[in-house]
Amino acid sequence: MWSRPISQPARKTLVASLRDALRQQIESGHFRIGERLPSEAQLTREHGVSRTVVREAVAALRADGLVEPRQGSGVYVLEPEAPVPAPFSDVDMDRLSSVIELLELRTAVEVEAAGLAAQRRSPSQEEYILECLRAVTLCNSAGRNSSEEDFALHLAIAEATNNPRFPEFLIMVGANSIPRRALDSQTQVPMAERYGEMINDEHDKIVTAILNGDEDAARAAMRTHLRGSQQRYRNLLRGTGG
């Protein structure tokens, strides 16, 4: 009796189902590390699928690093590879040297972001940048922890580049990269009034240049701001010997 071949979408569903079933058996320990999987013929019988489906499912497991075919012997379960840590997940913000490393990286990215924001910002983005500036200025003037508001301002500038990779980068680095946050956790020393005024002035120069559409001044102001933060942390590092 003639029968139609399995369609491509149907076969893909069968492959995915078998792949997931075998993965679950491997991860649960039903098939242990170094153990050989059942033969192609056994898997065909047990799961009611064709040899083609079995081969594709095994190939998918191999691509995921879960199994390894060995010539003339069969397919064996591999020890899972150690997961690759997410970017910046191993940064120790209690170490001043880690803060300096992130500030150097941020400088490389955010100086250009400020210049692009001066070129490309929209009226609504200008308005939001000003809102963020007012919020961080109020916090600094009151001597309160301004790390969240500071990060929001830098993120607003990154978003005003209208290149999504800039805000993605800042979000990936995270709010912990804001110097004030790290400094507070490191020293538990309240921010001096003079320091708050200095940061407010630096922020104001960055935002003014962006709103004026002055790319060069925006880059220069952002560079001064972030390099100043680097220097303050280097001075602290030398002073503490940490």
Mean pLDDT computed over 153-169: 96
The kind and range of the H/E element at 67 are: strand 67-70
The kind and range of the H/E element at 241 are: none
Cβ contacts of residue 110 below 8 Å, gap of 6+?
154, 157, 158, 170, 222, 226
**pLDDT > 70 in the chain, percent:** 83
Task: Verify that 233 and 148 share a domain, yes or no.
Answer: yes
The more confidently predicted of residues 221 and 240 is 221
At 71 the pLDDT is: 86
The pLDDT tens digits for 12-42 are 688 999 999 999 999 999 999 999 999 999 9
The position carrying tokens 């060995």 is 70
Residue type, 114: A
83 assigned to some structural domain: no
Inform me whether the pLDDT recorded for 235 exceeds 90. Answer: no
Separation of alpha carbons 66 and 44, rounded Å: 20
51 assigned to some structural domain: yes
Q: Identify the CATH number of the domain in which residue 195 sits.
A: 1.20.120.530
Inform me whether the pLDDT recorded for 116 exceeds 50. Answer: yes
Mean pLDDT computed over 213-225: 97
At 179 the pLDDT is: 58
Separation of alpha carbons 19 and 84, rounded Å: 23
Separation of alpha carbons 114 and 133, rounded Å: 14
Task: Verify that 233 and 113 share a domain, yes or no.
Answer: yes
91 assigned to some structural domain: no
What are the structure tokens assigned to 90, written together?
């191993």
Quote the distance between the C-alpha of residue 61 and its chain's center.
27
Task: Verify that 135 and 172 share a domain, yes or no.
Answer: yes
Task: Verify that 45 and 155 share a domain, yes or no.
Answer: no
Task: Verify that 181 and 229 share a domain, yes or no.
Answer: yes
25 assigned to some structural domain: yes
Separation of alpha carbons 164 and 120, rounded Å: 13
Which domain range does residue 72 map to?
8-77
Inform me whether the pLDDT recorded for 234 exceeds 70. Answer: yes
Task: Verify that 57 and 116 share a domain, yes or no.
Answer: no
Closest CA to 121 of 150, 170, 152, 162: 162
199 assigned to some structural domain: yes
* Count of domains for the chain: 2
Inform me whether the pLDDT recorded for 192 exceeds 70. Answer: no
pTM above 0.85, yes or no: no
Task: Verify that 134 and 218 share a domain, yes or no.
Answer: yes
Task: Verify that 142 and 55 share a domain, yes or no.
Answer: no
Task: Verify that 43 and 129 share a domain, yes or no.
Answer: no
Task: Verify that 131 and 46 share a domain, yes or no.
Answer: no
Query: Do residues 87 and 172 lie in contact, with contact meaning Cβ atoms separated by under 8 Å?
Result: yes
136 assigned to some structural domain: yes
90 assigned to some structural domain: no
Q: Which of 77, 107, 133 is the last residue of a domain?
A: 77
Mean pLDDT computed over 110-136: 97
112 assigned to some structural domain: yes
